Amino acid sequence: MERLSPESRRQIGEKLGELRENQIGEAVEQIIEFNKTPAELKAYMDQFVIGQEKGKKVISVAIAYHYRRLANALKHAMVENGEDLDAALRNTTTPKANVLIVGPTGCGKTYTGEVASRLVGVPFAVEDLTKFSEVGYVGQDASDILLDLLIAAGGNTHVAQMGIVYLDEVDKIATESVVYKDVSGRGVQKGLLKLVEGAENTIDLGKERISLSTRHVLFIAGGVYESLEGIVKRRMTRDGLEGDWKDYLLTDDFVAYGMERQLMGRFPIRAVYDPLTVENLRDIMLKSEESPSRAYVNDLKAWGIDLIFTDEALTEVARRAEQERTGARGLISILHQVLLEDMYCLPGTHTGELVVDGQYVRERVR
Ligand SMILES: Nc1ncnc2c1ncn2[C@@H]1O[C@H](COP(=O)(O)OP(=O)(O)OP(=O)(O)O)[C@@H](O)[C@H]1O
Ligand SMILES: [Mg+2]
């Protein structure tokens, strides 16, 4: 989010005030009544996120336990100690275990967090950490992060304090990769320590100041960590270890990459995502609730055109998308190349079937 002018801060403040009136209660109740098991959470994720079996397991356990623990603590404070929600949120402490997801671009890191937050019914805010490495300090940005969370929570401060913040491009704040000479990635990482661990923050909205704590906010950080695999494998060779590097990933490896040990300690739960295979990409089109090919089918239906992909066509698309090395995002770009001409010409001139087969794909995308 861009830095806000005082005027727009004031306007957001007013808007949030209105929203807040309308929907207290329901959202809070949903969180306090949270009772999904990790297996239920994963089964829901499976409908959207294809592959990444191990990663989905790690994350569904982390999220289910985080919210179950929080719900129990709040219920206890409110029932046994007769506190209101405000006091309960302030006075309860639960051990928090933030999550770090490592994996190639477009393989579902941000997507998993978003899908999971939908099921739990908590607000989800995505923050790009590269903007921190540009200015070199966190200060004002910490309050911008919380403002995004507050907006995602419809202005409800209680709900915001129980939300999920996804910190994108966390690998870009590693000390080595900071491009600006006068800026220290270390400073940025140090600045995040308090925020991710849990701290009281004040958001200034012009006419009012809102105080928000991140004590119960679950942070999920995601990054590509391009050369991490090499770092782990070298260490494994040195120590005579054999097996899948992902099972041997240690905090030391992140430190070697340029991450601060203190920050890594605050992300104790880790998942490594795999690059999506041709098979995975095919399944995303066939099985995911948010299949990109199905989105095109629906688009064209609005013009009276029944778009049909043959099996071979889907395989051809998946194969080409895999070569893009942009994960599932490659599917959109290949599908668009395949369909562009017809998306342009057919509306208004053709109704009925449009069959896309393997040949059709090969003609349009080499
Ligand atoms: N495993 C997957 N299953 C289904 N859809 C996926 C999967 N991975 C990615 N997608 C689709 O691709 C989009 C982009 O994925 P996502 O935002 O999760 O990438 P990312 O891993 O966070 O990459 P980056 O490192 O570039 O941020 C998602 O919104 C989703 O539509
Ligand atoms: Mg992402």
Domains of the chain plus CATH, in order, are 6-272 (3.40.50.300), 278-364 (1.10.8.60)
Sequence length of the chain is 366
HEC string for the chain: CCCCCHHHHHHHHHHHHHHHHHHCCHHHHHHHCCCCCHHHHHHHHHCCCCCCHHHHHHHHHHHHHHHHHHHHHHHHHHHCCCCCHHHHHHHCCCCCCCEEEECCCCCCHHHHHHHHHHHHCCCEEEEECHHHHHHCCCHHHHHHHHHHHHHHCCCCHHHHCCCEEEEECHHHHCCCCCCCCCCCHHHHHHHHHHHHHCCEEEEECCCCEEEEECCCCEEEEEECCCCHHHHHHHHHHHCCCCCCHHHHCCHHHHHHHCCCHHHHHCCCEEEECCCCCHHHHHHHHHHCCCCHHHHHHHHHHCCCEEEEECHHHHHHHHHHHHHHCCCCHHHHHHHHHHHHHHHHHCCCCCCEEEEECHHHHHHHCC
Average pLDDT over residues 59-77: 91
- Please name which ligand lies nearest the alpha carbon of 166: 2
- CA gap 222, 220 in Å, rounded: 7
How confident is the prediction for the chain on average, in pLDDT?
88
pLDDT at 287: 97
- Please name which ligand lies nearest the alpha carbon of 102: 1
- CA gap 95, 311 in Å, rounded: 48
294 lines ligand 1 (CB under 6 A): no
pLDDT band at 25 (very low <50, low <70, confident <90, very high): low
333 lines ligand 1 (CB under 6 A): no
Average pLDDT over residues 265-291: 97
CA of 106 to the centre of ligand 1 (A): 4
Look at 81-90, 116-125, 238-247 and tell me which has the smallest mean pLDDT.
Answer: 81-90
The Cβ of residue 102 has, within 10 Å, a number of other Cβ atoms equal to 22
Average pLDDT over residues 228-244: 95
CA angle 76, 77, 80 (to 5 degrees): 65
CA of 112 to the centre of ligand 2 (A): 10
Closest CA to 173 of 231, 133, 228: 133
Closest CA to 51 of 92, 96, 104, 120: 104
- CA gap 113, 274 in Å, rounded: 16
CA of 249 to the centre of ligand 2 (A): 21
CA of 303 to the centre of ligand 2 (A): 33
Q: Which atom of ligand 1 is nearest to the CA of 106?
A: 19
- CA gap 293, 159 in Å, rounded: 35
pLDDT band at 182 (very low <50, low <70, confident <90, very high): very low
Look at 98-107, 180-189, 201-210, 255-264 and tell me which has the smallest mean pLDDT.
Answer: 180-189
> Does residue 13 contact residue 207 with C-beta atoms inside 8 Å?
yes
pLDDT at 311: 96
Burial class (CB in 10 A: 0-12, 13-18, 19+), 349: exposed
Please give the model's pTM, rounded to 2 decimal places. 0.88
| Residue among 53, 54, 59, 107 whose CB has most ligand 1 atoms within 8 A, to mutate | 107
pLDDT at 254: 96
Specify the residue with its C-alpha closest to ligand 1, atom 28: 111
Average pLDDT over residues 318-344: 96
247 lines ligand 1 (CB under 6 A): no
> Does residue 24 contact residue 61 with C-beta atoms inside 8 Å?
no
> Does residue 102 contact residue 273 with C-beta atoms inside 8 Å?
yes
The pair of structure tokens assigned to 161 is 């304090």
107 lines ligand 1 (CB under 6 A): yes
Report whether pLDDT(23) > 80.
no
pLDDT at 201: 86
Alpha carbon 85 to its chain's center: 27
% of the chain residues with pLDDT over 70: 90
